[in-house]
């Protein structure tokens, strides 16, 4: 499993706009992408991050060429909310723990089909 951490600066006056975009467009995009095991949207002040978990490096490689990903990124960059620097770091997940049901409840997410398929 690979963790991908994307970080960007934002105009702090437009933080709510960024967060609404992430909820409306980015969250469903990550749920629809093959190999994406989950995504967490993080932020404080003028910094926003997305921590996404991926099944393997091939899944991350296909992210960059995904039409859905490219469309979402283009839509995100258009309003001028994002600021430099923007960085991406990849990490091999070497261990950890998560209580998926508690995390889902805390974030007020509804399970998507990708999560449901893993339970069968």
pLDDT in tens, 50-106: 999 999 999 999 988 899 998 988 887 767 778 888 899 999 999 988 887 787 777
What kind of fold does domain 2-119 have according to CATH?
A: Alpha-Beta Plaits (3.30.70)
- What is the rounded distance in angstroms from the CA atom of residue 120 to the CA atom of residue 118? 6
Angle at 49 between CA 47 and CA 52, to 5 degrees: 175
Kindly report the pTM of this predicted structure: 0.81
């Amino acid at each position: 499993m690979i963790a991908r951490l994307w970080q960007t600066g934002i105009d702090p006056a437009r933080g709510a706009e960024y967060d609404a975009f992430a909820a409306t467009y980015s969250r469903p995009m990550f749920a629809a992408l093959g190999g994406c095991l989950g995504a967490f949207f993080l932020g404080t002040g003028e910094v926003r991050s997305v921590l996404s978990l991926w099944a393997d490096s091939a899944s991350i490689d296909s992210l960059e060429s995904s039409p859905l990903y490219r469309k979402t990124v283009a839509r995100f960059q258009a309003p001028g909310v994002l600021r430099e620097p923007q960085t991406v770091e990849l990490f091999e997940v070497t261990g950890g723990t998560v209580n998926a049901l508690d995390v889902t409840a805390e974030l007020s997410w509804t399970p998507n089909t990708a999560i449901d398929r893993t339970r069968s």
